[in-house]
A = this chain, B = another copy of it.
Amino acid sequence: MNGSAIGYSLREIAERFGGEIVGDASVRVRCVATLESAGPGAISFLANERYLHQLRTTNAAALILAPAIREAVQKPRIITANPYLYFARVSALLNPPRRVQPGLDPDASVDPSACVDPAAEVGAYAVLGPGVQVGPGSVIEAFVSLGKNVHVGRDTHIHAVVSVYEECVIGDRVIVHSGAVIGADGFGIAFDGERWVKVPQVGRVRIGNDVEIGANTTIDRGALDDTVIEDGVKLDNQIQIAHNVRIGAHTAIAACTGIAGSVQIGRYCRIGGAVGIAGHVSIADHVEISGHTSITKSIDKPGAYSGVYPFATNRDWRRNAVHLRHLDEIARRLAVVEKALEDLKRERRGS
């Protein structure tokens, strides 16, 4: 799937995306590749310094480089402040998405009251319930269930095997990967002293534009108000988003993170993998959280936050971790020692 038959010259690329060409601007590239695996028709890039040594041996036809290493290699190259971003654009140019094939597969099950734009594509064994709307340019693949009154915007792609519960709203240019579940009931239960009573979950999920939702990610519907994912949010795989969470625009969250109910996350946050965020917590804009951190109270200020227990060999870990159960005692013993020392010094001065 990688690449374009004709390719583009560096000149054509720079005309679209800017950057400074150094060397032969007429060189044509047809695909993108890593430095290590690039063949003669490929354009590659360097974003991570750990791969700097590969510049010398790469077979790439052309490179995308930062100004600081502009002369690190003599191949035709485009110099740009953010090579990774530039590369993303070149790769999108060389790997255009598959063209939408408008129409309903005869094996799709579409309720008569559903409204599918003629320019949308609905695959075999998709099920669209009553009142469903799908905008132009959108693709609904096999084994996608869109519940009653689900609205899907334009140019949105829902991959195979996705369940969207009734009344949920998905914006434009959204990508939903396989296994995602949108709008299942939030975990709302009340204890009557003997058993749990289910609290009906009557809110919806509303997903803005330009959102990407990873494989097997789950986003629960609100208990009363809606769960909201704002524009431009990017969610990796196996993320859990509980009821009534709101995630601010352009926040990116790595895989396996779990966000409990009613959490508010700001805009432009970057949240690592396997993070846990406790219920009702608020997180400011521009907050970064390291992977595997447990956020148990609100964060008011932008900045980077961590809480990872450092790993070690089993032996070292065991030797050290045992003291975690006695930190309070250590602190108290230290205070006693400090006090005794003070007494001794005072005594000494007095003597």
Residue ranges of A at the interface with B (Cβ–Cβ < 8 Å): 1-3, 31-34, 36-37, 48, 50, 82, 84-85, 87-89, 91-92, 95, 107, 109, 123-125, 127, 141-143, 145, 147, 159-163, 165-167, 175, 177-179, 181, 184-185, 187-192, 194-200, 202-203, 210, 212, 214-216, 218, 220, 224-225, 232, 234, 236-238, 240, 242, 250, 252, 254-256, 258, 260, 273-274, 276, 278, 280, 288-296, 303-328, 330-331, 333-334, 337-338, 340-341, 344-345, 347-348
Nearest-CB residue, chain B, relative to A89: B197
Q: Please determine whether A224 and B34 come into contact, CB atoms closer than 8 angstroms.
A: yes
Beyond A181-B177, A190-B85, A304-B313, is A330–B328 a contact (Cβ under 8 Å)?
no
**Assembly CA distance A177 to B11 (angstroms):** 48
Q: How far does the Cβ of A317 sit from chain B's closest Cβ, in whole Å?
A: 4
Q: Please determine whether B216 and A216 come into contact, CB atoms closer than 8 angstroms.
A: yes
Q: Please determine whether A199 and B87 come into contact, CB atoms closer than 8 angstroms.
A: yes
**Assembly CA distance A232 to B193 (angstroms):** 13
Beyond A184-B214, A254-B260, A331-B330, is A240–B237 a contact (Cβ under 8 Å)?
yes
Q: Please determine whether A109 and B124 come into contact, CB atoms closer than 8 angstroms.
A: yes
Q: Please determine whether B109 and A190 come into contact, CB atoms closer than 8 angstroms.
A: no
Of the residues B34, B202, B309, B331, contact of A2 by C-beta under 8 Å = B202
**Assembly CA distance A106 to B324 (angstroms):** 62
**Residues of B with C-beta under 8 A to A348:** 344, 347
A sample of 22 cross-chain residue pairs with beta-carbon separation below 8 angstroms, ordered by A number, consists of A1-B167, A36-B225, A143-B143, A161-B163, A177-B181, A178-B184, A187-B255, A215-B220, A238-B258, A242-B255, A256-B256, A289-B311, A291-B294, A293-B309, A296-B310, A305-B317, A306-B312, A307-B312, A308-B309, A320-B324, A321-B327, A344-B348
Q: Please determine whether A319 and B311 come into contact, CB atoms closer than 8 angstroms.
A: no
Q: Please determine whether B145 and A161 come into contact, CB atoms closer than 8 angstroms.
A: yes
Q: How far does the Cβ of A191 sit from chain B's closest Cβ, in whole Å?
A: 7
Q: Please determine whether B91 and A202 come into contact, CB atoms closer than 8 angstroms.
A: yes
Nearest-CB residue, chain B, relative to A178: B163
**Assembly CA distance A91 to B46 (angstroms):** 52
**Assembly CA distance A202 to B319 (angstroms):** 41
**Assembly CA distance A36 to B310 (angstroms):** 41
**Assembly CA distance A95 to B203 (angstroms):** 11
**Residues of B with C-beta under 8 A to A225:** 33-34, 36-37
Q: How far does the Cβ of A331 sit from chain B's closest Cβ, in whole Å?
A: 5
**Assembly CA distance A145 to B160 (angstroms):** 7
Of the residues B224, B293, B331, contact of A32 by C-beta under 8 Å = B224
Of the residues B181, B190, B316, B318, contact of A325 by C-beta under 8 Å = B316
Given contacts A91-B202, A294-B311, 20 further A-B contacts (CB under 8 A): A1-B167, A37-B225, A92-B199, A109-B124, A187-B234, A189-B234, A216-B238, A254-B260, A274-B274, A274-B276, A293-B309, A305-B317, A307-B311, A308-B309, A310-B322, A323-B331, A330-B331, A330-B334, A334-B334, A337-B341
